[in-house]
Amino acid sequence: MRLLLTVCVTTALVVTQPLTATAADRGPHGPVGGALLTGKPTVVAAGATPPAVQSSAYVVADVDTGDVLVAKAPHAKLRPASTLKTLTALVLLPRLKKTDRVIGTDEDAGIVGSKVGVSPGLKYTVDLLFEGMFLASGNDAVNALCEHDEGGVDGCIRRMNAKAKELGALDTHVTDPTGLDADGQLSSAYDLALFAQAGLERPDFAKYAATKYTNFPLATKGTYQVANQNKLLFTYDGALGVKTGYTTLARNTFVGAARRNGHTLVVTMLDSPHGITTDAATLLTWAFEHYDDLTPVGTLAKPTPPPKPAQADKPQAAGPLPTTRTVDTPVHPVNSVFAIPAWLWAAPAILLLALFLRRPRRRRH
């Protein structure tokens, strides 16, 4: 009997644990943006057959409507290389004053990867550093901008991860704002499309992304010309630029956009061996030509407003107690049987166990 009661109590305690976390993690409606947008290496399109390209994952979407027109493994988590700088820009642009002057450091100059030429002791405007970041993909410019902001590089990383969640970019995890192949640094073609959409809504982001040339100061005297690494700007009619990337592990990555016939389309590509500009142009041209025939296969997620900062306590006028309360975290519907408090389920079994396990008092003779 004692063994049976022990089993009953254990079962009651296990059953009463929350069962919604795992289900919520999977998501009730499939992948973000629609059920067709999976991480599988298959092309998803409706209305026309897209051309073959070499990238392992890509997305073509209308940034105005949010419609995803064609996709291949859009949620595959891959290394983004310098296309991650689109998210870096989204975080830094609203926080830094363009006319501020930043003094270059040894840390800036000694950073790994692509550089625009930030020299220790020289002064640069924030505006010029953003140009160096977008056009030359300068990791030195990124480091200088991050260090000019509160919290430095670590603060920027925290804000980038928070911004990704706000935008619905749940495939993205940031560990280095330059986009280098840091451990755990991942994104997806879908998330890059979200960053491009949010960026092109900002006039300053759009201006930097579409700038073809700038002049950057030399360490000694004079300047040199920097050309935008996004070749789409120079070869494709209606191109709006955005960002390219490359590392040994990520291979070629790409975010490009163009405007034709009243439509603004973005193309994002990850893990491409070569010819990425040509492939991007091919996909864009196909999407523009077949735009009216295409049926969207998904949508770009709408941003979630960031939580409001906590306000200092203020005396409030007395009034009736509220009858409802607001919950900041999402509430997932569950069967009402699991809404009963855990102690209420376990209480009867515990009481029975206590009753049967209690030693009887010794009778007096």
pLDDT at site 276: 97
Q: What is the DSSP letter of 130?
A: H
302 is in an annotated binding site: no
Distance of CA 197 to the CA centre of its chain: 12
Q: 108 and 11, same structural domain?
A: no
pLDDT at site 23: 29
Q: 351 and 220, same structural domain?
A: no
Q: Structural domain of residue 185, as residue ranges?
A: 43-296
Q: 119 and 9, same structural domain?
A: no
Q: 263 and 153, same structural domain?
A: yes
pLDDT at site 70: 98
Q: Cα-flanking dihedrals φ and ψ of residue 153, to 5°? A: -65, -45
Q: What does the radius of gyration of the chain's CA atoms come to, in whole angstroms?
A: 27
Q: 69 and 8, same structural domain?
A: no
Instruction: Tell me if 207 is assigned to some domain.
Output: yes
Instruction: Tell me if 316 is assigned to some domain.
Output: no
105: which strand partners?
none
pLDDT at site 304: 84
| C-alpha to C-alpha distance for 109 and 120, rounded to whole angstroms | 7
What CA–CA distances, in Å, run from 358 to 244, 274, 323, 364?
73, 77, 44, 18
pLDDT at site 195: 98
Q: 210 and 72, same structural domain?
A: yes
Distance of CA 358 to the CA centre of its chain: 58
Q: 1 and 83, same structural domain?
A: no
What CA–CA distances, in Å, run from 142 to 29, 124, 146?
37, 12, 6
Q: 223 and 158, same structural domain?
A: yes
Structure tokens, 150: 């509160």
Q: 99 and 215, same structural domain?
A: yes
Instruction: Tell me if 308 is assigned to some domain.
Output: no
Give the global pTM: 0.78
Instruction: Tell me if 330 is assigned to some domain.
Output: no
193-220 b/e (C-beta count within 10 Å ≥ 16 → b): bbbbbbbbeeeebbebbbbeebebbeee
Q: 83 and 228, same structural domain?
A: yes
Q: Which residues are catalytic?
A: 82, 85, 137
Domain boundary among 278, 296, 314: 296
Contacts of 88 by beta carbon, 8 Å cutoff, 6+ apart: 133, 142, 146, 156, 160, 177, 178, 179
Residue numbers in the chain where pLDDT is lower than 70: 1-29, 306-365
Tell me the HSE value of 283 on the side-chain side, using a 13 A CA sphere: 32
The CATH number of the domain holding residue 178 is 3.40.710.10
- Report the sign of the C-alpha dihedral through residues 29, 196, 204, 110, in that order: positive
pLDDT at site 310: 58
Instruction: Tell me if 47 is assigned to some domain.
Output: yes
What CA–CA distances, in Å, run from 237 to 182, 203, 323?
35, 20, 59
Instruction: Tell me if 205 is assigned to some domain.
Output: yes
- Least Cα distance to 110 among 101, 119, 102 occurs for 119
Q: 124 and 231, same structural domain?
A: yes
| C-alpha to C-alpha distance for 253 and 186, rounded to whole angstroms | 12
When divided into structural domains, the chain yields a total of 2
Contacts of 357 by beta carbon, 8 Å cutoff, 6+ apart: 2, 5
| C-alpha to C-alpha distance for 347 and 349, rounded to whole angstroms | 6
DSSP result, 313-337? P------PPPSS---SS------GG
Q: 9 and 97, same structural domain?
A: no
Instruction: Tell me if 169 is assigned to some domain.
Output: yes
pLDDT at site 337: 36
- Least Cα distance to 298 among 210, 220, 204, 188 occurs for 188
Instruction: Tell me if 133 is assigned to some domain.
Output: yes
